[in-house]
Amino acid sequence: MTEDREHLIKRLTRDLQPVRMPWSPVRAGLLWWISTWVFVTGIAFVLEPPRSGALIQAATHGQFLLESVLGLVAALVIAVFAFGDSIPANARRAMLQVGLVLAAAWILAYVIGLEYPALTPSMAGKRPHCFLEIFVYAVPVSLAGIYLCGRYYVLAPVRTTALISLAAAMVPALLMQFACMYDPAHILSHHILPIPMVVAAAIVVHRLVLWTR
Amino acid sequence: MRRAQAGDASAYARLLSELGNAIAGYLYHRFGPVSFAEDCVQECLIAIHEARHTFILGRPFRPWLFAIVRNRAIDMLRRQQAYSRLFSAGLDDVEGVAVSALESAEHEIRVTSAGSLFASLNPQQREALTLTKLLGFSIAEAAGRLGISQTAMKVRVHRATRAAAKMLERSHE
């Protein structure tokens, strides 16, 4: 062993304190996901009420329910993976693959909906700033998620940032399924399109923060 | 590790010193006699120290440890590339040195049977990594040495780094 290494070990072990064990990442991911829903739903519905009859439509139209459940599960799986991935060698790649496949299926459902919509497309319940709202809601919850992941030990920061912001942006996008007008073309251009933009912005900001350190 | 997490300094010092030796052996086996190995060992020890609260008792220790070591090693490789590019930008003629240095570095890796990761790369990728990582040439110098364009050299180094990273990841999955 070199002298340098010996010196380093002495420095690392000096005044060693017991570590505080963090929450299980799965539990933290679940809590973040639930808090995200509470935060986004709370603000969105305070600003403007949901589309009337949206919940009943979910109960009576299978395809509409399927679209919602696909997005819901995809966001949950991606969020839990991102938190699990914050601990070295903890998360399983298969989980991420499942999450991404579900997210792709969720988007595909709207593409199919262009031809075979789950509900009759209508302007009822349209929110004037739904596109912007998704950005505004996704940013703080993304930041909170990235901060919480940072309390573990993130080995792939860009991946974690991308996945957390993806899950964070999917929540308001999904909420708009009930809060805004239903039209697959509108959903794709105003609710889904902001998602990759939020992810890209989060990665750029993250890179800038790392670069300026 | 349990005792280290509980704050037992002597157990922790023993653990770190054993891990340091294990990591040094791992790096030698994977990369051969690279100049940055000791720096990498120390970076790994610091990373283990910073991440020690994330080790979940009852879980296997090796995957946790080597995920960190692999990550640090890949990071170090990338940094070496950037550093050598920056550092050797002012050097003039290194052509003559390059021939013998490249041959002796490749020879050493083969003869010592160390650097299994380097050895498993294809000859072009191995050559690219040997020139830029082991011998510290800039992209321009390495490209000139091989008689290819700088873009082609960059692509080779990038692919070789990715291949090495993938091999590292696969070896512990």
How close, in Å, is residue B168 to chain A by CA atoms? 13
Residues of A in contact with B54 (CB under 8 A): 22, 86-88, 90, 152-153
ipTM value for the complex: 0.78
Burial class (CB in 10 A: 0-12, 13-18, 19+), A20: exposed
Residues of B in contact with A87 (CB under 8 A): 54, 56, 64
Burial class (CB in 10 A: 0-12, 13-18, 19+), A28: buried
Residue A104 has a pLDDT of 96
Q: Please answer whether residues B68 and B22 qualify as being in contact, where contact means their C-beta atoms are separated by less than 8 angstroms.
A: no
Q: Which two tokens stand for residue B104?
A: 């002796």
Query: In terms of CA atoms, which chain B residue is nearest residue A14?
Result: B9
Query: Which among B12, B71, B172 has CB closest to A155?
Result: B71
Between A181 and B154, name the one with better pLDDT.
A181
How close, in Å, is residue B55 to chain A by CA atoms? 8
Residue A36 has a pLDDT of 96
Q: What is the pLDDT of residues A38-69, one digit of tens each?
A: 999 999 999 888 888 888 888 899 999 999 99
Longest dimension (CA), chain A: 74
Q: Is A18 within 8 Å of B5 when comparing Cβ atoms?
A: yes
Residues of B in contact with A152 (CB under 8 A): 54
Q: Is A4 within 8 Å of B49 when comparing Cβ atoms?
A: no
Best to test chain A binding among B3, B15, B46, B53 (most A CBs inside 10 Å): B53
How close, in Å, is residue B96 to chain A by CA atoms? 34
Residue A83: name the closest of A178, A132, A39, A149 by CA. A149
B39 to B34, B43, B64: CA distances (angstroms) = 10, 6, 20
Residue B105 has a pLDDT of 54
How close, in Å, is residue B156 to chain A by CA atoms? 23
Residue B121: name the closest of B160, B77, B153, B86 by CA. B160
Kindly report the pTM of this predicted structure. Answer: 0.74
Residues of B in contact with A153 (CB under 8 A): 47, 50-51, 53-54, 68
Q: Please answer whether residues A177 and A68 qualify as being in contact, where contact means their C-beta atoms are separated by less than 8 angstroms.
A: yes
pLDDT band for position B94 (cuts 50, 70, 90): very low
Helix (H, G, I), strand (E, B) or coil at A128: coil
Residue B110 has a pLDDT of 52
Phi, psi for B92 (deg, rounded to 5): -95, -90
